[in-house]
Amino acid sequence: MTVFSIIFLVILVVSFAGIAASMRRLFSYMALGKPDNRFDKPIKRLKRTFTIAFLETKLLRDPVAGALHLGIFWGFVVLLFAVIETIGEGLFHGFSLSGMGWLYSVITCSQDFFCLIVAFAVALAFWRRTVKKVKRLQVDEEHQLDATLILLMILIVVSSYLLQSAAQISIFGMRPHAVRPVARLLSGMLFGDNSFTVASYQILWWIHILAVLGFMNYLPFSKHLHVITSIPNVYFSWRSKPVPLKPINFEEEGVEKFGAGEFFDFTWKQLLDAYTCTECGRCTSVCPANQTGKELNPKIIITAIRDRMMDFAPIALAGNQESGQSGSAAEKKFIGGYESEAAIWACTTCGACMEECPVTIEHIPAIVDMRRNLVMMESRFPDELQATFRNLENNFTPWAFPSGERAHWAEGKNIVTMAENPNDYDVLFWVGCAGSFDARYKSVTAAFSELMNIAGVRYRILGMEEKCTGDPARRAGNEYLAQMLMKDNIETLGRYGVRKIVTTCPHCFNILLNEYPQFGGKYEVIHHTTFIETLIREGRLKPLTSIMQDIVYHDPCYLGRHNNEYDAPRNDIRRIPGAHLTEMGRNRDKSFCCGAGGARMFMEETEGKRVNIERTEEALATGATTIAAACPFCMTMMTDGVKAKNKIESVAVKDIAELILESVRVKPAGDPVPFA
């Protein structure tokens, strides 16, 4: 071994020891989190990792930034071989990977071009941050410095490598199987067979390897930690949509703390999320609360967990987990100090942040975990929720209606309850609280039941035996109350052996389908828009009457983004003769929330612009005369919005069921086709 090799070996050992120490520290912090089983279904997880992490499908939702990042990412994958080769060269004179044959040709050629692509991508990234000042990329000074440093390091790594390769060609010629068109060109332009080239080669070699080692050592202290954590984070993310809320086992012995009031109350996966946030701001740019001026910033929800962990984990590891009485970080509370309480309550759980996040961070469970802590441990929540929780406890509905009136809408309609006849039916119609009590939505309930009558569907309702599904209580953090309602309903449904449910409410649909199984309630659940689509397809409903209107459809978050149902409601509208379906700019998985989800329906909205106004303005801007809804909360919010904009005389807000009924019920003059 030469002196040079020995010096290099020492540098290498010190660098890797530094990286190992940093990783050990990060692991020890993460190990403070609660358990979470994210090790099932490895094949499904690998497939997801391939598409999201390696093909960067989520990043490509923004074509410019996505293509930019894809270039940097794959550039680095290919350049990994360059790092291996450089380290080998440092240790063993004349080391080369050229024995890989044709693969070496592919790798070297790609390295050359990727160096150019990465350099271009870095320059573009600088321009977007400093000249174009893309809003979501604007951060505080400390984070700006971090981003600049990282971009500079990347630029040094790739440019030094390219120039080093060029000098190497001038001195030693092209290696066997190497294909380096860019480096060859630079070699001819910049270097010759002289001492300047030899000195340049040596200097560039050291610059390159020291930049690589410096970069790797700096990563664990930087937001670019995601370079290391994003692939495992995608692998361990929830394997499909929607991400369910984790149930709390209230019967578990010794558990005295509920929800997350400190960073170590989150699961290890949530702490991995916190490490992985790239601070790209994509979540913030689509958050309805943030975009209408609320304090909530989903990016900060996640980075605050990381900041708290970095500040407080050393204290916690020193044995002060529960007391947290030592150190300056411990003087600052987690909720209130790092996380804004107002922000936690501003979330509508619309899921836009999670849809957009390129590294599959799960914001909603983290927010709900903090709400759980505030509600169940601290008894601190917006005043309005007091009445909601009380009503849910006493009346089994969020509103102050007696539960005995739940089936009043059905009076005189010849609708049969399960108690009256639990046999010979096709489907249970889950009416929901809004469908049962809300003056406006009761007409949607009636319209849908009429459609089922016309189509000859044999259905039952639970009537007074139905209780709120628990969705608002669960999203508001009152897991105890939510579980009480869920278990009562499961008991009722089980008693009647219910297997198939149809509902007009996406919130009921979502919780019945995705969260009731957590407590043993497994059903086939169908949203009424999907049900109507099937009835039309089967010819059991025939929309024949023209409705000559421009209809704009607003996607409910819990039907669309959370459950991927975008087409059925649109297909229903398209089946109406004369109806012209128009779209808002933000539609389908990019849709903008109405503002009522996550129990926001039951809270005041005093900060910033109202979310429903923002969405209504967008709908009105299309010029449509009808706004089609498929959710009781959306219906209320959009109707309020239209009223606030003084457009109620010219723009109607209608449910899909009402529109279909209008087209089905009125038989066109002279039309011989029977429809009922």
Q: Which residues bind ligand SF4 (CB under 6 A)?
A: 277-283, 287-289, 296, 298-299, 302, 347-353, 356-357, 359, 361, 363-364
Task: Give dist(CA 286, CA 276) in Å, integer.
Answer: 19
Q: Is 96 left (phi over 0), alpha (psi -120 to 50) or beta?
A: beta
Residue 250 to residue 383: CA distance in whole angstroms: 25
* Minimum CB distance to ligand SF4 smaller for 300 or for 418: 300
Closest contact distance (angstroms) between CB of 356 and ligand SF4 is 6
Query: Between 67 and 207, whose beta carbon lies closer to ligand SF4?
Result: 67
* Nearer of residues 147 and 581 to ligand SF4, judged by Cβ: 147
For helices 656-665 and 528-537, the axis angle rounded to 10 degrees is: 30
Nearer to ligand SF4, 104 or 592 (CB): 592
> Is the CA virtual torsion 10, 16, 18, 24 positive or negative?
negative
Shortest approach of ligand SF4 to residue 585 CB, angstroms? 17
Nearest approach, Cβ of residue 554 and ligand SF4 (Å): 15
Rounded Cα distance between 166 and 159, Å, is 11
Min CB(164)–ligand SF4 separation in Å: 33
Query: What gap in Å lies between CA 363 and CA 466, rounded to an integer?
Result: 31
Q: Are the CB atoms for 268 and 33 separated by under 8 Å?
A: yes
Q: Taking the complex as a whole, how short is the minimal distance between the CB of residue 94 and ligand SF4, in angstroms?
A: 43
Q: Give me the residues paired with residue 429 across strands.
A: 502
* CB closer to ligand SF4, 175 vs 223: 223
353 vs 656, which CB is nearer to ligand SF4?
Answer: 353
The residue among 515 and 662 lying less far from ligand SF4, judged by its C-beta, is 515
Question: Nearest distance from residue 341's CB to ligand SF4, in Å?
Answer: 14
Please give the Cα distance from 113 to 110 (Å, whole number): 5
Q: How far is CA 104 from CA 82, 108, 112, 265, in A?
A: 11, 6, 12, 49
Report the alpha-carbon distance of residue 131 to residue 327 in Å, rounded.
Answer: 41
Integer Cα distance of 411 and 123 in angstroms: 69
Distance in Å, CB of 371 to ligand SF4, minimum = 11
CB of 562 to ligand SF4, least distance (A): 10
112 or 279: CB nearest ligand SF4:
279
Length in residues, the chain: 676
Minimum separation from the CB atom of position 666 to ligand SF4 (A):
40
Say how far apart CA 565 and CA 347 lie, in whole Å: 22
User: Taking the complex as a whole, how short is the minimal distance between the CB of residue 101 and ligand SF4, in angstroms?
Assistant: 40
Using the CB atoms, write b or e for 177-189: b if 16+ within 10 Å: bbbbebbbebbee
Nearest residue (CB) to ligand SF4, 287 versus 637:
287
List, as own/partner pairs, every contact residues 35-39 make where C-beta atoms lie below 8 angstroms and the sequence separation is at least 24, other chains included.
35/267, 35/268, 36/246, 36/267, 36/268, 36/269, 36/270, 38/236, 38/237, 38/238, 38/269
Considering the complex, state which of residue 179 and residue 611 has its C-beta at the smaller distance from ligand SF4: 611
Cβ atoms of residues 100 and 177 within 8 Å: yes
